[in-house]
Structure 1
Amino acid sequence: MNDAQALLPEAIWRDRIFNGDWIPALGGSHTFTEPATGEQLGRVGLANADDVTRAAGEARAAQAAWAATDYKERAGVFRRAALLLSKHHNELSTWIVRETGAIRPKADLELREAGAHLLEAAAMLTQPKGQLLASASNQLSIARRVPHGVVGVISPFNFPLILSIRSIAPALATGNAVVHKPDLQTPVSGGVLIARVFEAAGLPKGVLHVLPGGADAGQAMCTDPHIAMIAFTGSTAVGRSIGELAGRHLKKMSLELGGKNSLIVLDDADPDIAAANVAWGAYLHQGQICMASGRILLQRGIADAVIERVVAKARNLPVGDPAGGAVALGPLINARQVQRVHGIVEDSVAAGATLLTGGSYERQFYQPTVLTGVLPGMRCFEEELFGPVASITVFDTDDEAIALASATSGCLALGVITPTLARGMRIADHVPAGHVHINDQTVLAEAHAPFGGGGTSGNGGRHGGAADWDEFTQWQWMTIKTEAPRYPF
């Protein structure tokens, strides 16, 4: 595709940030690289605190007119944006592959789901925005949803398009303006791409600002008086800092953080099906997913059969540059993450876990790994891995599985594999989790379904479907009388 046909020609966004136009950043520029090769992919504007201040003020000024725009016109923006994702699918998919280290099917999935979020946002424009309340006979009493004003969105590197658009789209649909800070490792997939799609779809200037930036920009978003809400997706450690800072400034917060998620396989499951679910939940996108199956809990009667099959799969999953061939796993996002994953594996082995395969790497390519004999207290049992490691613990009874899966301060997802639905339901009812999947692994999300977690996995907020109204609006009570009352004072 030549530049005249492309949606993302670099000449438009090189060394720029977005406010409706492409402008230089006060913070300078940032170079980003391809994790598979280390080659430079491009340069974007690097937003600093002053850029945030400017963007927040412009967004606040533009918000009221956007909220007052005819609902059909606003819905049309989202529908056109979804069509643009489809029209430019191959171009955009290639960016996701190269920038995130994703295999092509993951990139394709991300684009399809992003389109679904845009269509869900369009549908919100014709949904009821409030309730008619009981009231005195001469009074109309209404509870209605109104926008916060300006929403700040901070998104991560692993699924940068989906984890940005799932907040940006409903925030805009409910009448807010948005200031968005994508991760500096994925500024195109998580930022430039979104800006270009909305720009081409006709979103008015000033309603969306895209500011790739570092910690100083994020901190400025948390303190700026024009930004009323922060929607953050990322690690628990950074989420704590974001929550503390934004809380001091009395902002609404939606925090979707890391999770230690369990996939439980009961002894009446099919070993082949169970092994396929284990491998998918542990290895998809190199395990760099907040919903990844970080604890594989196998009932003793089926454990050996499943482990044998998972090891065979791990040894035969090709690892390499996803832009250059048919591979199942690409690179981890950076060298620091490789060392973190390897440290967890080595420490767990030193504590008594058994390494059956993997546990090695070349550059940023980490081999699919299987650890058995994992016990509570080991790092691979306690910590979110964010790497391609199947961490296996064997249990005897259903109650023991419940106790093991519940031994975490934050769980986004739970999976239970069993043909006996009553057993699966009982476990689901006793393990706290943001979402539960009986007869599926843990990595699932759909645009219309509420998604999120509590504890160290988040502050209880949800994205998706009806939950978007809860997150991105606030209630306002309105009464209407035919004439003003005559009070006795």
Structure 2
Amino acid sequence: MTLMDTAVWDGLIGSGRTDGDGWTQGSAGTQDVVEPATGENLGTVGLATGDDVRSAATIAAEAQKEWAARKPEERAAVLRRAGQLFEDRAEEIQEWIVREAGSIPPKAGLETHIAANECFDAAALPHHPTGDVLATNEDRWSLARRRPVGVVSVIAPFNFPLILSIRAVAPALALGNAVLLKPDPRTAVSGGVVLARVFEEAGLPTGLLHLLPGGADVGEAVVAAPEVAVVAFTGSTGAGRAIGETCGKLLKRAHLELGGNNALLVLPGADVDAAVSAAAFGSFMHAGQICMTTGRHLVHSSLYDEYVEKLAAKAAALPVGDPHTEQVAVGPLIDDKQAQHCEDIITAAVEAGATVAAGGTRDGRFVRPTVLTDLDRDNRAWAEEIFGPVAPVMRYDTIDEAVALANDCEFGLSIGVLGDVGTAMDIADRLDSGKVHINEQTVSDESQAPFGGTKSSGNGSRVGGAAANIESFTETQWVTLRSTIAGYPF
């Protein structure tokens, strides 16, 4: 039997039950798994309801107690085996990412590579120091120790379904928690079934990881379940605000990684050919469906005309098509709604005065890589996160103007600066962004690096690296110890 044999999970949810089979019927029925490039049905996944979530949360809370009490080496071993499975079964997993998420094969390969690293890095967390010895004014020992939060809900999006699930699931489990995982229904296999099967094969005890695909009602339930202490959400800013509001009312921690409209600054004197290559990757990788996508190109006037000409030529030359059957650079958008949204943005941009230097056309779910010029700050293509393969380009004359334009955005996720390193370092100190990449484009992620944004891009770096993961998925408990019972004046 292969890891992703549909006979195991087709039409089911990962119940995490402790009474035997970890797969069961979802109370909301099933949903087809649709290949965005062709519309072909690849199988079915089960759909959960709020009642399924509440049952899963109860099971998870009970199973978590025993898991947290396990020896650190036992939890670490499960994470190491999971990482090895992501490597050993990479080809099988990547085919699902290509077909279900519309990813080109190199992007699918990146997802399995990072998933393995997330597990290997998480495997070190159980042996990480769990506290501090504190100074005290009393005749006692004073300690601060880290303990698992209990049950963590992970809500993940469609665009990088495996990475954006595993980066929270792996450290949460490693630190002794149970997890309720709600993937986007459009990528419930790549962002859900894959993880459930990997951890099942890795020997994770039952009851600890529950796969709960579904709509907004399931999302609300995994946030509201009383057993859940922390919610890790990656997705749109609108949904993130709603989750943050609910968590605030319920006094739960919310780790929110939200949208972005990221700027790429091209400095005077920059190598235009190299800059255009970086820019095309930043804007057109995975058809622009990345929170870190380069959504705004700021180019010095001395380079502007050459940059636009070469970026337009690069966009026009990129092959677009089905990444499963053709060697392409750009695949489909995830569904008709997203493709229509992208087309609407381009149309509105042109009506507001923008010029199409390349692309601008749509064929079903395929949108040609598009370069737009002659925009102002209020143009929708400049001001909004598009989540499509669109590169709006604007010129600037001074460094102060470039910094002001880069910061003039509701988001603060990622910014790239291309050109003279000294100038770029000075600029970096003035940028309001969770990530700044000098002589790189805006899309970058590593399992050991902090990831997060400012302003409407989220509430800070909540994942990546031991410090962020421990902070995210544990609570601090104060403990004092005396050799004899203390005396009191009562």
Please report the TM-score for the alignment, with normalisation by the length of structure 2: 0.97
Match of 1:22 in 2: 23
**253-262 or 451-460, larger mean C-alpha shift:** 451-460
Pick the aligned partner of 2:3 from 3, 7, 11. 7
Q: Secondary structure at the match of 1:228?
A: strand
Report the residue type matching 1:405 in the other structure.
A
Match of 1:459 in 2: 459
CA contact 2:450–2:461 (8 Å) conserved in 1? no
CA contact 2:172–2:473 (8 Å) conserved in 1? yes
Q: Secondary structure at the match of 2:281?
A: helix
Q: Distance in 1 between matches of 2:353 and 2:197?
A: 51
CA contact 1:97–1:322 (8 Å) conserved in 2? yes
Superposition map of 1:97-112 within 5 A: 97-112=98-113
Match of 1:475 in 2: 476
CA contact 1:152–1:179 (8 Å) conserved in 2? yes
Match of 1:409 in 2: 410
CA contact 1:453–1:462 (8 Å) conserved in 2? no
Report the residue type matching 2:133 in the other structure.
L
CA contact 1:102–1:322 (8 Å) conserved in 2? yes
Match of 1:422 in 2: 422
Match of 1:208 in 2: 209
Cα deviation, 1:377-430, whole Å, max 9, x if unaligned, reads 100111001000111011011100000000112121010001x22210111111
Q: Distance in 2 between matches of 1:148 and 1:455?
A: 27
Superposition map of 1:77-116 within 5 A: 77-116=78-117
Report the residue type matching 1:19 in the other structure.
S
Cα deviation, 1:204-231, whole Å, max 9, x if unaligned, reads 1101111111110111112111111111
2:339 equivalent to 1:338: yes
**Could you say what the CA RMSD is over the residues aligned between the two structures, in angstroms?**
1.0
CA contact 1:138–1:482 (8 Å) conserved in 2? no
Q: Give the drift of 1:468.
A: 0.8
Match of 1:439 in 2: 439
Gaps in structure 1 of 5+ consecutive residues: none
Q: Secondary structure at the match of 2:412?
A: coil
CA contact 2:313–2:358 (8 Å) conserved in 1? no
Q: Secondary structure at the match of 2:220?
A: helix
Q: Give the drift of 1:298.
A: 0.4
Cα deviation, 1:215-254, whole Å, max 9, x if unaligned, reads 1011111211111111110011111111122222111100
CA contact 2:102–2:323 (8 Å) conserved in 1? yes
- The number of equivalent residue pairs is 484
Q: Give the drift of 1:100.
A: 0.4
Match of 1:159 in 2: 160
Match of 2:19 in 1: none
Q: Distance in 2 between matches of 1:257 and 1:167?
A: 15
Q: Distance in 2 between matches of 1:374 and 1:425?
A: 28
Match of 1:251 in 2: 252
Q: Give the drift of 1:454.
A: 2.1
Identity of aligned residues (%): 51
Report the residue type matching 1:385 in the other structure.
I
Q: Distance in 2 between matches of 1:434 and 1:442?
A: 11
Cα deviation, 1:257-280, whole Å, max 9, x if unaligned, reads 001110100011101110001100
Q: Distance in 2 between matches of 1:376 and 1:135?
A: 56
Q: Distance in 2 between matches of 1:339 and 1:483?
A: 72
Match of 1:238 in 2: 239
Q: Give the drift of 1:32.
A: 2.1
Match of 1:448 in 2: 448
Match of 1:301 in 2: 302
Q: Secondary structure at the match of 1:430?
A: coil
Q: Distance in 2 between matches of 1:87 and 1:39?
A: 27
Q: Distance in 2 between matches of 1:223 and 1:250?
A: 11
CA contact 1:264–1:416 (8 Å) conserved in 2? yes
Q: Distance in 1 between matches of 2:206 and 2:433?
A: 40
User: Which runs of 4 or more aligned residues in structure 1 lie more than 2 Å from their structure 2 counterparts after TM superposition?
Assistant: none
Q: Distance in 1 between matches of 2:470 and 2:436?
A: 22
Cα deviation, 1:442-474, whole Å, max 9, x if unaligned, reads 000000000001221112242100211111112
Q: Distance in 1 between matches of 2:386 and 2:359?
A: 15
**120-129 or 241-250, larger mean C-alpha shift:** 241-250
Q: Give the drift of 1:137.
A: 6.5
Cα deviation, 1:24-55, whole Å, max 9, x if unaligned, reads 11222111200000011111110010000000
Gaps in structure 2 of 5+ consecutive residues: 17-21
Q: Distance in 2 between matches of 1:310 and 1:273?
A: 11
CA contact 2:107–2:286 (8 Å) conserved in 1? yes
2:264 equivalent to 1:263: yes
Q: Secondary structure at the match of 2:294?
A: coil
Match of 2:218 in 1: 217
Q: Distance in 1 between matches of 2:171 and 2:447?
A: 11
Q: Secondary structure at the match of 2:185?
A: coil
**243-252 or 203-212, larger mean C-alpha shift:** 243-252
Superposition map of 1:262-341 within 5 A: 262-341=263-342
Q: Distance in 2 between matches of 1:369 and 1:295?
A: 13
Q: Secondary structure at the match of 1:294?
A: strand
Q: Distance in 2 between matches of 1:481 and 1:138?
A: 7
Cα deviation, 1:135-184, whole Å, max 9, x if unaligned, reads 24631111111111100000000000000000101111111110010010
CA contact 2:79–2:120 (8 Å) conserved in 1? yes
Q: Secondary structure at the match of 1:172?
A: helix
Q: Distance in 2 between matches of 1:411 and 1:135?
A: 41
